[in-house]
Amino acid sequence: MSSAKSEWKKTWQGGLNARSWQRFELEGQNFLLKTHVDHREGYEFLLTDLTSMWHEKMDIDQVKKRCKTLNPRFEAPLPTILRLLQDNTETKKDSTDYTIQHKGEGMVLVLETKVGGIRFTWEFHCQQAQKEMLRDQLLEPLMTMVGELGRREHRLGQLLKAKDREIEDYKMGGATVSRKNLQTERFDPTTFRKEQLVCKHVAKCFRFAITSFAFRYADVGQTRRNVIWPPGPRGVMLCRCLT
């Protein structure tokens, strides 16, 4: 790996594209949200209910002004404020109250918590996101995830076939299993796919789809960061595999 590639991997942040979606249940409704914080530039926040998407971007001066307006008694350096916002949107905190307010086509997410015994409030004033954000933040990552999971399925199939050949070699040498319940059939990918089409566990997967999506998004995002370099126009990665 070249020194330029190594240095890029160490310093690359990637903005919202590099952040994982987090599942939040707010007032009985499921949302996905993500936050990118930069202590030199401010923050960027994205919220979706999978029907609409809302977005807010604030520079450091705007963050300071809003904090002063909402929290006149609260004094803290900017990095502390941004870390508070990030911590409370990366994980839903039991000690924090979250409220959703619809305002026309916009959306306001209100956070209320305590820091050192002092009440701290924040309001994310989000507007409808541009259509390109739906593509960049949801559709393209979903297609990437499908492709990557397909690749992993294929690789697992190859490994299972290799294991079957290894077991067959043991059997030809006279080896037997110690217990009958350990014996397995040879793996057949066609039979496996047919069985999965009628698998009773599929319904459970649908129920936990949002949680699974957030987990897989982080997983595949890490893979992309490790194997694709460098970032291309408008944040889309150029497909150059690291070797």
Structural domain ending residue among the three candidates 129, 149, 176: 129
Mean pLDDT of the chain: 83
CATH number at residue 51: 2.170.210.10
Are 25 and 46 part of one and the same domain? yes
Residue 238 counted as domain residue: no
Are 121 and 197 part of one and the same domain? no
- Tell me what pLDDT residue 218 has: 67
Are 15 and 66 part of one and the same domain? yes
Are 70 and 164 part of one and the same domain? no
pTM of the model: 0.73
- Tell me what pLDDT residue 239 has: 38
Residue with the bigger pLDDT between 30 and 209: it is 30
Give the chain's domain count. Answer: 2
Neighbours of 164 (CB within 10 A): 15
Structural domain ending residue among the three candidates 110, 129, 148: 129
Are 22 and 115 part of one and the same domain? yes
Instruction: Tell me: pLDDT of 49 over 50.
Output: yes
> What confidence category does residue 234 fall into, taking pLDDT thresholds of 50, 70 and 90?
very low
Are 108 and 16 part of one and the same domain? yes
Are 168 and 87 part of one and the same domain? no
Structural domain ending residue among the three candidates 129, 155, 189: 129
User: What percentage of the chain carries pLDDT values higher than 70?
Assistant: 76
Are 88 and 125 part of one and the same domain? yes
Residue 194 counted as domain residue: yes
- Domain limits at 115? 11-129
> What confidence category does residue 20 fall into, taking pLDDT thresholds of 50, 70 and 90?
confident
- Tell me what pLDDT residue 177 has: 85
- Tell me what pLDDT residue 204 has: 63
Q: Average pLDDT, stretch 197-202?
A: 70
> What confidence category does residue 241 fall into, taking pLDDT thresholds of 50, 70 and 90?
very low
> What confidence category does residue 11 fall into, taking pLDDT thresholds of 50, 70 and 90?
very low
Are 138 and 158 part of one and the same domain? yes
- Tell me what pLDDT residue 57 has: 97
Asked if 125 and 56 count as a contact pair (C-beta separation under 8 A), the reply is yes
Instruction: Tell me: pLDDT of 40 over 50.
Output: yes
